[in-house]
């Protein structure tokens, strides 16, 4: 089964498994609480209203850059990857998430508010992740 993330430490729970399999098919889903309507991305199995009946919804993956950092000194698990850009992006529905931003070539490309898109990226060792790319 495909695993999510460049690395992971937790035991694989069903939701993350489904999310990874969906990414393989090129689809990125969020979840929505059937009781109160609150939406979550990254997806959650349970809502903070303490309801656990959630439905999967398509995420509009266009995003704007909210903040970023360039990691020069990585944790042990990412030791071969540095430097890499970690960005926070905000989607049209107001939800925000963290992911690598890949494909920018100069600091001029890192303007706050710049348009991006969240896309799946297949990694080695049967892993997959989402990343932001310039849009």
Binding site for other proteins (CB under 8 A): 4-10, 16, 42, 66-79, 81, 84, 86, 88, 95-100, 112, 129
Q: Which residue is listed with tokens 């704007």? A: 64
Shortest CB 53 distance to Zn ion, Å: 9
Neighbours of 106 (CB within 10 A): 6
* Under rule CB under 5 A, residue 47 binds Zn ion: yes
Shortest CB 47 distance to other proteins, Å: 14
Shortest CB 2 distance to other proteins, Å: 13
* Under rule CB under 5 A, residue 35 binds Zn ion: yes
Query: What is the signed CA dihedral for 56, 53, 4, 59, rounded to 10 degrees?
Result: 30
Shortest CB 29 distance to other proteins, Å: 14
Stretch that binds Zn ion, among 25-33, 55-63, 84-92, 116-124 (CB under 5 A): 25-33
| Contact by Cβ (8 Å): 67, 112 | yes
| Contact by Cβ (8 Å): 2, 110 | no
- By CB under 5 A, the count of residues binding Zn ion is 7
Give which of 41, 122, 130 is closest to 87, Cα–Cα: 130
d(CA 65, CA 72): 20
Residues within the interface to Zn ion (CB under 5 A): 33, 35-36, 38, 47, 49, 51
């Amino acid at each position: 089964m495909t695993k999510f993330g460049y690395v992971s430490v937790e035991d694989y729970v069903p939701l993350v498994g489904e999310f990874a399999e969906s990414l393989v098919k090129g689809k990125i889903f969020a979840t929505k609480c059937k009781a109160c309507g609150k939406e979550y991305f990254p997806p959650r199995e349970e809502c903070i209203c303490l309801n656990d009946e959630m439905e999967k919804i398509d995420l509009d993956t266009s995003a704007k850059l909210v903040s970023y950092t360039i990691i020069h000194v990585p944790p042990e698990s990412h030791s071969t990857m540095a430097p890499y850009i970690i960005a926070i992006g905000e989607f049209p529905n107001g939800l925000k998430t963290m992911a690598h931003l890949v494909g920018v070539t100069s600091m001029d490309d890192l303007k706050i508010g710049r348009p991006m898109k969240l896309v799946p990226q297949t990694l080695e060792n049967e892993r997959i992740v989402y990343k932001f790319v310039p849009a």
